[in-house]
Amino acid sequence: MPAAEWRARAHAHAERARALTGDAAARRARGEQHPVEDFLYTYYNWAPGKLLRWHPGVGVVLADAGERAGWANYVAVPGGVRVDAAALAAQRRATITLARDVLAATRGRAPQLACFGLHEWAMVHRTRPEQVRHAGLPLRLGHAGTDEVVESHRIRCSHYDAFRFFTPTAVPRNELQPTRTGQPGQEQPGCLHATMDCYRWAMKLSPAVPGELLLDCFELARDVRVLDMRASPYDVSSLGHTAVAIETPEGKAEYARAQREFAERADPLRAALVQVCEALLAAA
């Protein structure tokens, strides 16, 4: 790829990343946190600045890119510099294989649209006020009302990284018992957290993931997180969000529509990430 082309793409990527993460970076500088938007930086543990650096993906040689020769998982080759796919695959084979298996299996399943975001409710079931995860946000229906929603609904959470935060009283109410090792057989595309994890996998596969794909995954995860909290038991009106009242028929319908839209939006991203995994494994 000629220098003029890749430098232009890298510049456009950085500008897009700053637009997406600028508010979060400013909050970090002030020592502030946002319970909705900062989840992607705290839970996934990657600072906003991690998104600024553009990568071309596997197999692309960057001309006149000597400054990248010393970057981690890059290698100098005739004509320029490229991502060292073989070295990256040797270092992260287990992660790459798991990512491929989870992403490919998720694509092969029909979305399940009847969970209604009850995972967030199950995380505060039968808790005391001081135990609530987002202590700065009140519960929209109060503690008793929140418990009633959990206890009057069928809960079928398939995502291990949501299920592991269920309270002890909510765990036996889940019809499924997802595990880390069972992820490839459990994930399904209607799950909001599985969709957010497209960003997780993209970061774990970096720098093999093209920068544009990484930001597409991040932007999708950011939008999904907003729905996740709007449908949660928390009152997010102080943050400028309206509730998706999943305890009502209208709220359930709204949630399911959004689930389907996110699943459709995620599918081409999952497909592209699977291709990255396959390219890495082929280079090993």
Task: Note the pLDDT tens digit of each residue in 148-187.
Answer: 999 999 999 999 999 999 999 999 999 999 999 999 999 9
Among residues of the chain, what percentage have pLDDT more than 70?
99
For residue 76, list its beta bridge partners.
81
Residue 8 has pLDDT above 90, yes or no: yes
Contact in structure between 158 and 114 (CB atoms under 8 Å): no
Give the distance from CA 229 to its chain's centroid.
14
Helix axes 192-205, 249-283, angle to 10 degrees: 20
Query: What is 144-174 written as a DSSP string?
Result: HHHHHHHHHS-B----HHHHTTS-TTTGGGB
- Taking the whole predicted model, whether its pTM rises above 0.75 is answered as yes
Query: What is 249-264 written as a DSSP string?
Result: HHHHHHHHHHHHHHHH
Q: Which residues contact 271 (CB under 8 A, 6 or more apart)?
A: 107
Helix (H) or strand (E) holding 212: helix 211-230
pLDDT tens for each residue of 246-274: 999 999 999 999 999 999 999 999 999 99
Of 162, 169, 219, 156, the C-alpha closest to 194 is 162
Residue 284 has pLDDT above 90, yes or no: no
How would you class 95 by CB atoms within 10 Å of its CB: exposed for 0-12, middle for 13-18, buried for 19 or more?
middle
pLDDT tens for each residue of 180-196: 999 999 999 999 999 99
Contact in structure between 54 and 10 (CB atoms under 8 Å): yes
pLDDT, position 133: 73
pLDDT tens for each residue of 227-237: 999 999 999 99
Q: How far apart (Å, rounded) are the C-alpha atoms in residues 141 and 147?
A: 9
Residue with tokens 């995994």, as numbered in its chain: 277
Instruction: Please state, rounded to an integer, the average pLDDT across all residues of the chain.
Output: 95
